[in-house]
Structure 1
Amino acid sequence: MAHRLQLALVTASRKVKDVHQFFDHLVNIINIVVSSSKRNDELQHAQAEQVENMIASNEIETRRGANQIVTLQRARDTSVIAFCEQHEIDIPDMNARYTKGRGRYRHQDEDLTMEHHFRICIFTVAIDFQLQEFRFCELTTELVILSSALISKDAFRLFNIVHICNLVKKYYPQDFTEHKQELLESQLQHYELDVIKHPDFQNMSTIFELCRGLKISGKSNIYFLIDRIIRLVLTLLVSTATTERAFLAMKLLKTRLHNRMEDEFLADNMIVYIEKEIVGNFTIEMIMDEFYSMKNRRQA
């Protein structure tokens, strides 16, 4: 989720023209740096030396932990102004009049200040786009809340017929017709009196255990619609895990040494990496035979 959240934030922010230009310039700088391994190593070496000098001059503090040798903890009495002065970065006067560019613009606002431009025109607008992008998080939250009504933990404390019916109606309308939705509500009423009160189901804490318990007891045949929605909810974990594996594979495959890899070639490599179990069933001879048959088909 962290990867998708980061991508959503960046995508939403880039809808603002100034932020979009910033990321374009940043991408160009990164591509220039990582295109040369020597240049990249020199930059990392220079950064390490700078950190060592800052530690030696007590500009930053360090601490030692169990999983790291030295970790930056916090800057000591530094500020944005001091940072800009040290690196010879121009500090804009936030009360000065903001000018869109060189020359005179016909629609230039005479009362527009630098602070208003950065705070309102860029920062606030970017936040608005991000909040709009966060709508998917609201849907995800609602989906989790409604799905929790199926959890058998704490003797089915969260069980709620209304929530389950709303879950089916809103997120799985293609899997349940109107007639099946009515039948599901009827099954849930009997399920509440039968399964929830049954001692064999009191110690189950996960949906997976509940699904297995219904199958073993044969009650999955009686409450077949409830069994269906439980299995659909279980697939949410698989889809989330698959997405996370895809982002991990992308990070491992498209390194700074392979930063110019085309999207199609990257996608093919990711499929091979993610589906290792399936790929393991193919031998080199099988692949060679497949390419040989493709050659014969083309000649024919």
Structure 2
Amino acid sequence: MKRAGDTRWGSHYGTLVSVISMFESIVDVLDFIVEDGLNSEQRGEAFNLLVLIQSFDFIFSLHLMKVILGITNELSIVLQRKENDIVNAMQLVKLVKYRIQTLRNEGWDELLNEVCLFCEKQNIIFPSMDENFQMKGRSRRKVHQVTNLYHYKVEFFYVILDLQLQELNNSFSQSSMELLICIACLSLNNAFSAFDKEKLLRLAQFYPSDFSSIEPTVLDNQLSTYILGMRSSDEFSMLNGIGALAEKLVLKNKSMVYPLVYLLVKLALILPVTTASVERGFSAMKIVKNRLRNRMGDQLLNDSLVTYIEKSVFDGIVNEAIMQRIQNMKNRREQL
């Protein structure tokens, strides 16, 4: 699963629903290409696709992913909005985790029945769940024999759902969810209606190296004065976003008046940047170090990732400047 938060997953869910609803038409098109394709390569590719999509494995996977993406669809969309309601988003995370866990515990029979009905409608062979599972391309003597029920329920259904839960738990641990909810208390919306002094004091506890042992007490008083000043100021009521709040605090020298509150604002701004950088790094790694370049060394990988991730910066550097820098480095080495 992707991190559950990519808007593309919303479109993927719609695509899966369309594939299922248009399955007969897709089969008809592939049948036509197999019979009347432009060349043997096209006809062979269509035949292979036809065999694949009419297999039970494909149908089972299709329906399972439709259910999973249906559960995570709203969360994926919400997390990609520029202006997030963090509190509601975190509540949605909890609901998604609960629904996936419920699906794991209680959803097998319903899913299997749905797949069975679809296979009957499309004349696709539905294997007996009591028979031994046959893995294609391997000798029966070399494979540990398990029933179809065990394979599809334990090795497939449970494993996929456990991976979804693990991904959600890794991305949204209890501490990270609490951290985000605390940060949401800095929101300026509706005259700072989300302000909660206790949660902001809790936010400071997440950064013990930035706050000394006595500063939380000072912060407590600062927050009380800060919120009174913010709610009584028309200048701050018109702002949108924590970034704008930080700029205005500096512009009006409020960062000097409320230094510890301003520190909280800065820490809140750093968090999404750090998270986004990590996400960009993992996404770029899949592109840079692909199947054909899987033996790439760490140094080359690091250099390639920096170049790829920061391509907007490197686009502004002309080749002549790079060549000149290389030449200067060579000259210095020769002088040494």
- CA gap of 1:78–1:115, structure 2 versus 1, over 3 A, is closer
Partner residue in 1 for 2:184: 148
- Matched-pair contact (CA < 8 Å) for 1:96–1:113: yes
Q: Which residue of 2 aligns with 1:119?
A: 153
Report the equivalent of 1:177. Answer: 212
TM-score calculated relative to the size of structure 2? 0.54
Measured in 2, the distance between the counterparts of 1:252 and 1:122 equals: 27
Among candidates 304, 308, 311, match of residue 269 of structure 1? 304
Structure 2 spans left out of the alignment, 5+ residues: 6-40, 54-116
Are 1:96 and 1:114, in contact at CA under 8 Å, matched by a contact in 2?
Answer: yes
- Judge conservation of contact 2:219–2:261 (CA < 8 Å) in 1: yes
Match in the other structure for 2:326: 287
Q: How much has 1:165 moved relative to structure 2?
A: 1.1
Is the CA contact 2:3–2:167 (under 8 Å) kept in the aligned structure 1? Answer: no
Which residue of 158, 162, 165 corresponds with 2:194? 158
TM-score, normalised to structure 1, is: 0.60
Q: 1:196 to 1:249 in 2, by over 3 A?
A: same
Give the match for residue 264 of structure 2: 229
Structure 1 range deviating more: 145-154 or 246-255 = 246-255
8 Å contact from structure 1 (residues 150, 159) kept in 2: yes
- Secondary structure of the corresponding residue to residue 158 of structure 2: helix
2:60 aligns with none
Residue aligning to 1:94: 129
Shift of residue 98 of structure 1?
A: 7.2
Partner of 1:46: 45
Q: Judge conservation of contact 1:146–1:163 (CA < 8 Å) in 2.
A: yes
Q: 1:158: how far off? A: 0.5
Structure 1 distance, partners of 2:249, 2:283, is 35
93-102 vs 270-279, greater mean Cα deviation: 93-102
Contact kept in structure 1, 2:231 and 2:237, CA below 8 Å: yes
Q: For residues 128 and 208 of structure 2, what CA distance do their matches in structure 1 show? A: 57
What CA deviation, in whole Å up to 9, does each residue of 1:112-162 have, x standing for no partner?
853145313553255345424432313443322111100111110101111
Residue deviations 1:56-78 (CA, integer Å, cap 9, x gap): xxxxxxxxxxxxxxxxxxxxx96
Shifted more, 132-141 versus 42-51: the winner is 42-51
Which residue among 76, 79, 99 is the counterpart of 2:119? 79
Q: 1:239 to 1:48 in 2, by over 3 A?
A: farther
Contact conserved, 1:153 with 1:203, CA < 8 A, in 2?
Answer: no
CA distance in 2, matches of 1:47, 1:262: 35
Distance change (3 Å), C-alpha of 1:213 and 1:125: same
Matches within 5 A, 1:99-114: 102=141, 113-114=147-148
**1:10-89 map, 5 Å:** 46-47=45-46, 79=119, 85=125
Deviation, structure 1 residue 5: 4.9
Name the structure 1 match of 2:18. Answer: none
Match of 1:30 in 2: none
Is 1:220 the counterpart of 2:255? The answer is yes
- Provide the alpha-carbon RMSD of the alignment: 4.1
State the secondary structure of the residue aligned to 1:79.
helix
Q: For residues 6-52 of structure 1, what are the alpha-carbon distances to aligned partners after superposition, in whole Å with 9 as ceiling and x for unaligned?
A: 9xxxxxxxxxxxxxxxxxxxxxxxxxxxxxxxxxxx6899249968x
Report which stretch shifted further, 187-196 or 222-231. Answer: 187-196
Matched, 1:168 2:207: no
Distance 1:255 1:81, change over 3 A: farther
* Residue in 2 that maps onto 1:193: 228
Which one-letter code corresponds to 1:46 in the other structure?
E
Query: What whole-Å deviation, never above 9, does each CA across 1:67-121 have from its counterpart, x for those lacking one?
Result: xxxxxxxxxx963895755xxxxx642123679974999xx9xxx8531453135
- Mapped partners of 2:294, 2:132: distance in 1: 42
The runs of 5 or more residues in structure 1 that have no matched partner are 7-41, 55-76, 86-90
Q: 1:96 to 1:245 in 2, by over 3 A?
A: closer
**In structure 2, C-alpha distance between the alignment counterparts of 1:254 and 1:102, rounded to whole Å:** 36
More helix by share: 2
What is the alpha-carbon distance in structure 1 between the residues aligned to residue 307 and residue 241 of structure 2?
32
Look up the match of 1:24. none
Evaluate the alpha carbon distance shift between residue 225 and residue 292 of structure 1 in structure 2; reply closer, same or farther with a 3 A threshold: same
Residues in 2 aligned to 1:125 and 1:248: alpha-carbon distance in whole angstroms: 23
Would the aligned equivalents of 1:98 and 1:113 in 2 still touch at CA under 8 Å?
Answer: yes
Please report how far the alpha carbon of residue 285 of structure 1 lies from its aligned counterpart in structure 2 after TM superposition: 1.3
CA distance in 2, matches of 1:48, 1:157: 61
* Separation in 2, partners of 1:95, 1:127: 23
